[in-house]
Amino acid sequence: MYNEHSVPRIRGDQTWQERAACATAVDVARDPDLFFPATATLADEKRVALAERICSSCDVRKTCLEAAFECGDADGIRGGMTESERKAVRHRFELRCDPARVAVALSGRDVYLSGAERQELIRRAAMSGAPVDRMARVLKVSEAHVQKLFRRERRKSVGTHLGTPGAPQAALEAISA
Ligand code: SF4
């Protein structure tokens, strides 16, 4: 069974929805639009409060919120947040750099990566000599493009190391690898 606290969700895995509290909540059966309040009326304020209460007890709240950000799902309440609340913090999600997610992607699993995580993955893959074909699959680009990204990362690394006394030899080895 899906556990949002074990490993990051593989892209496209929807099994977490089997544990969604909103899928079985009686209040949703009574009001199918509960998670999609459309106006700022008092009735909708009550809807938001009730939906957020359901989310607060949901086992897959974190995954639900991440999935909404990953898919750019702007509609309705997701992971306990309204559309406008998600819009306000979306940029923070894209700045996330979770080492655990990067490590999972480095091993070849297809997980969603923020821009910052993608950049960190390229850096770590280039420095560790990760297989180009694997990284092409994970990054969804051609192998030639991965090689270009790796060369750029190694050049950057050399630039950094050249500023460190005693490091030029290691830097030269890195760029010629
Ligand atoms: S967090 Fe809320 S919207 Fe998401 S699955 Fe759970 S109950 Fe449904």
**Ligand 1 near 25 CB (within 6 A):** no
CA of 21 to the centre of ligand 1 (A): 6
pLDDT at 175 (0 to 100): 37
**Ligand 1 near 47 CB (within 6 A):** no
pLDDT at 174 (0 to 100): 42
CA of 15 to the centre of ligand 1 (A): 13
CB 59 within 8 A of CB 21: yes
pLDDT at 162 (0 to 100): 57
CB 8 within 8 A of CB 104: yes
Atom of ligand 1 nearest to the CA of 55: 2
pLDDT at 171 (0 to 100): 37
pLDDT in tens, 58-90: 999 999 999 999 988 888 999 999 999 999 999
Listed as ranges, residues in the chain with pLDDT below 50 are: 165-177
Query: Whose Cα sits closest to atom 2 in ligand 1?
Result: 55
Between the CA of residue 36 and those of 44, 49, 63, 163, what are the distances in Å? Answer: 9, 12, 19, 55
CA of 61 to the centre of ligand 1 (A): 6
Residue 111, beta-bridge partner list: 10
CA of 22 to the centre of ligand 1 (A): 5
pLDDT at 82 (0 to 100): 92
Atom of ligand 1 nearest to the CA of 19: 5
Tell which one of 2, 78, 82 to mutate to probe ligand 1, the residue whose CB is within 8 A of the most ligand atoms: 78
DSSP state of 165: T
Q: Which residues contact 43 (CB under 8 A, 6 or more apart)?
A: none
pLDDT at 177 (0 to 100): 42
Tell which one of 28, 55, 69, 75 to mutate to probe ligand 1, the residue whose CB is within 8 A of the most ligand atoms: 55
